[in-house]
Amino acid sequence: MAAVHSAFSVATVRKDFPILRRRVRGKDLVYLDNAATTQKPRQVIDAIVSYYERDNANIHRGVHTLSMMATDLYDASREACRRFLGAERFEEIVFVRGCTEAINLVAATWGRANLKPGDEILLTAMEHHSNIVPWQIVAKATGARIVVAPVSDAGEIEVEEFAKLLTPRTKLAAFAHVSNALGTINPVKELARMAHGAGAKVLVDGAQAVPHLRVDVRDIDADFYAMSGHKVYGPTGVGVLYGKTELLRAMPPYQGGGDMIHLVSFEGTQYAEHPSKFEAGTPNIAGVVGLKAALEYVNRVGLDQIAAHEHELTEYAMGVLGEIPGIRLIGTSARKCGVISFLLGAIHPHDLGTILDTEGVAIRAGHHCAQPLMDRLGIPATARASFALYNTKEEVEVLVRALYKAKELFE
């Protein structure tokens, strides 16, 4: 049986992740691509296997034992997500495929129902494409327009400029809790207060926040909050949209089909109440089960302990990486977690990522689905190292040695 942790120990935690014992190109794996996806602990893997071995059935309406067991597991995960995000009600949690689908759901339902020509959607220059493109689609369909709040050279939202861009025309403000490309922790509670003061609704992209920070959607006062399971040690293909009850109740369905209906006839259809209204068809039941196991795992390890460990690791990495001749750190906010983007001399980030892979070090290289941010910073791409609860200072030192080797190849 996998361990249950009473106190945080990175050495103990690492034993829960089977993939960390893998070797890549003859070297011990150093996995520093956690902002793209995190690795999965044995507890999550076992929960998924157990579901398929013992309880696999379709949920809801089934009267046989397996269907009732699967339904109980699915509903228990919704309650776990409610607690994890600090939502008030069970019904405010909608299961989706991930953060991207959560944002698309809001854009396609709330957006199309509430936006009209002349309305404005306020974004920021650091947003992930998933928090840009859905709003471009709905703006084109409704006649609304997108307004963009600027970002400083340090990679921080310019809050005063954000405030100036809020007007009676602003109907929605959407922004990341944590930047996936820079690691900047944004003042989401303050931004939400400003947006609400202007009469706008607020959507927070929480994909990069939930693995690192304790989130309370009621304290933030987010109208919508989106997260992905695979960023927080859960399976791919599952995520959560939190929405305030009054908003979800008023929104039209996202898709049609089974399980989102109350009554169907050829004359018309009566829809189910939320969250079922937004969960058409057979969902990713095993993924939802795995998500619950992931959130329970994080809670057992302790989010505060995880945050403290990752903060110490990020500070250490910023220091030792900053000593490498020719390195340029991208994103230097004092409020930062889990992500370090950088350039090294004239080495293209893709070449750097390939060279590091020969040393067993996995990083990300590219624009990180944040091309407007790269344009703002005047660069095409960066190399990005991103940390999780299982990473160590020794792994940072392996990264540093690998970067020196890369320098030698290009000198």
Residues marked active site are found at: 369
Do 322 and 329 form a contact (C-beta atoms < 8 A)? yes
User: Which residues face 202 on adjacent strands?
Assistant: 173
Structure tokens at 389: 């609860």
Give residues with Cβ within 8 angstroms of 103, minimum separation 6: 130, 131, 134, 174, 203, 205, 226
Do 90 and 142 form a contact (C-beta atoms < 8 A)? no
Structure tokens at 168: 């009676």
Give residues with Cβ within 8 angstroms of 377, minimum separation 6: 153, 155, 330
The reply to whether omega before 275 is within 30° of 0 (cis) is yes
Q: In 47-119, where do the E strands start and end?
A: 93-96
Specify the DSSP class assigned to residue 178: B
**Backbone dihedral region for residue 178 (phi beyond 0: left; psi -120 to 50: alpha; all else: beta):** beta
- H or E element that contains 204: strand 201-205
